[in-house]
């Protein structure tokens, strides 16, 4: 079952349970996935990651502005989205994948980071944030 199908079912269940906040958030996520499919991209995991990141950044901005209720709403939506993402890699697992990719590409300096990232994109498969992956690559390449 795709993430979009699971989200649709969960939104219906939330409505039946009278949980309007959860149902509304799930519908919003479902709309994002439908838009992704309409545009022909079909990358559910990528779309969910982007939406989660947006919610986390918005929550931080709201909290910094003293708007704690809105920040909490954004965090709630980010947590909902997280539930539909693949399990995240541990630091050790990510480090091992980066080491393998560096060995495979023969990269030895920071300017070769793009080659390593290209190999990792497929291997990581949405199980780690791109910023986290690039930070690990930079550290291992010594930049």
Residue 15 has pLDDT above 80, yes or no: yes
CATH number of the domain bearing residue 111: 1.10.10.410
**What pTM did the predictor assign?**
0.73
pLDDT (0 to 100) of residue 143 = 63
Q: Are 102 and 127 contained in the same domain?
A: yes
Query: What's the alpha-carbon Rg for the chain, to the nearest Å?
Result: 18
Asked whether the CA dihedral 109, 117, 52, 31 is positive or negative, the reply is positive
Residue 10 has pLDDT above 70, yes or no: yes
Q: What percent of the chain has pLDDT over 90?
A: 53
Domain with 105, as residue range(s), is 91-141
CATH number of the domain bearing residue 44: 1.10.1510.10
Structure token digits, residue 70: 């809105």
* Buried residues in 25-46 as b, exposed as e (16+ CB within 10 A): bbbbbbebbeebeeeeeeebee
The tally of domains found in the chain comes to 2
Q: Are 62 and 125 contained in the same domain?
A: no
Can you tell me whether residue 67 is helix, strand or coil? coil
Q: What is the pLDDT of residues 101-136, one digit of tens each?
A: 999 988 888 888 889 998 898 888 778 888 889 999
pLDDT (0 to 100) of residue 58 = 96
Q: Are 55 and 121 contained in the same domain?
A: no
Q: Are 8 and 65 contained in the same domain?
A: yes
């Amino acid at each position: 079952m795709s993430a979009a199908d699971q989200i649709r079912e969960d939104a219906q269940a939330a409505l039946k349970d009278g949980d309007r906040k959860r149902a509304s958030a799930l519908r919003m996520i479902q709309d994002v996935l439908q838009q992704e499919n309409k545009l022909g991209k079909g990358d559910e995991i990528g779309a969910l990651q982007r939406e989660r990141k947006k919610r986390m950044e918005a929550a931080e901005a709201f909290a910094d502005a003293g708007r704690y209720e809105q920040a909490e709403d954004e965090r709630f939506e980010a947590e909902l989205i997280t539930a539909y993402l693949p399990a995240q890699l541990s630091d050790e697992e990510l480090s091992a994948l980066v080491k393998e990719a560096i060995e495979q590409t023969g990269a030895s300096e920071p300017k070769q980071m793009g080659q390593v990232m290209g190999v990792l994109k497929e291997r990581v498969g949405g199980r780690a944030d791109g910023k986290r992956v690039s930070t690990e690559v930079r550290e291992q390449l010594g930049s």
